[in-house]
Structure 1
């Protein structure tokens, strides 16, 4: 039996970061085709994802986008792929793929290092429908 998340794109994010939570909320509000689910990197599900791939399990400064059984993207490539999946006007950001990943990841890393300064201090609380999109295993 398939898990409800196996046909979705899963966004792994730092659950303790207000900036990251803002962007999770932003995606939730624009995910009209129900393509995404979310898991914090600190969760058991997030830790399993990281450890199975030999990725860092203690420092949470990278966003991951995973399509089970197919691929995963990190950093700027994950952001660009999320925009592409959302479609519409957000698909225009795909033009960012013309930049080499090492350059776009430098911008990503700068934002990541400064995200706590940029974070809105309000805590995001998903509504009942949005809670269904979070994996808490």
Structure 2
């Protein structure tokens, strides 16, 4: 059964090295612990993807679930950056949103489609430290 989504949840590809770097970045900069995480390979990650109309077996999108709504691709990235504390990353969120939606999502999906070849792939999902474990939904 899917855990109730109270905090915003980022669903990511747990074996993608680029995606794992993104999660490490968020863990480092989200000092308030606003975001929780679920890999696409987990039961809850798969359920969240399906609930928001994404195919968990062919995931080219990152998903942010916030306040019951799903955000994907560059909209999800910009929204996550805007949600980080101290406004330090808001400028990047604004820069992303300046680019027309169709262009930025085309570029995002190109990278997503080729992410394993460009950035690598791990045989296992990113493993959080014991201190970070509470931020992950299995």
- Output the CA distance in 2 between the equivalents of 1:56 and 1:125: 24
RMSD of aligned residue pairs (Cα, Å): 2.2
* Superposition map of 1:1-137 within 5 A: 6-69=5-68, 71-87=69-85, 88-95=87-94, 96-119=96-119, 124-136=126-138
- Output the CA distance in 1 between the equivalents of 2:58 and 2:4: 24
> How many pairs align?
133
Q: Which moved more, 1:55-64 or 1:109-118?
A: 109-118
Question: Structure 1, unaligned stretches of length 5 or more?
Answer: none
Question: Structure 2, unaligned stretches of length 5 or more?
Answer: none
1:78 offset after TM fit, Å?
Answer: 0.6
* 3-state SS of paired residue (2:10): strand
1:99 offset after TM fit, Å?
Answer: 2.2
Over 3 Å counting, the alpha-carbon distance change for 1:39 and 1:47 in structure 2 is same
Over 3 Å counting, the alpha-carbon distance change for 1:78 and 1:42 in structure 2 is same
Over 3 Å counting, the alpha-carbon distance change for 1:32 and 1:100 in structure 2 is same
Q: Once the two structures are superposed, what CA deviation does each residue of 1:58-106 show, in whole Å capped at 9, x if it has no partner?
A: 112210111143x221001111111111142211013221222111101
Over 3 Å counting, the alpha-carbon distance change for 1:56 and 1:121 in structure 2 is closer
* 3-state SS of paired residue (2:11): strand
- Output the CA distance in 2 between the equivalents of 1:135 and 1:118: 27
Structure 1 stretches of 4+ with a deviation exceeding 6 A read none
- Output the CA distance in 2 between the equivalents of 1:51 and 1:120: 25
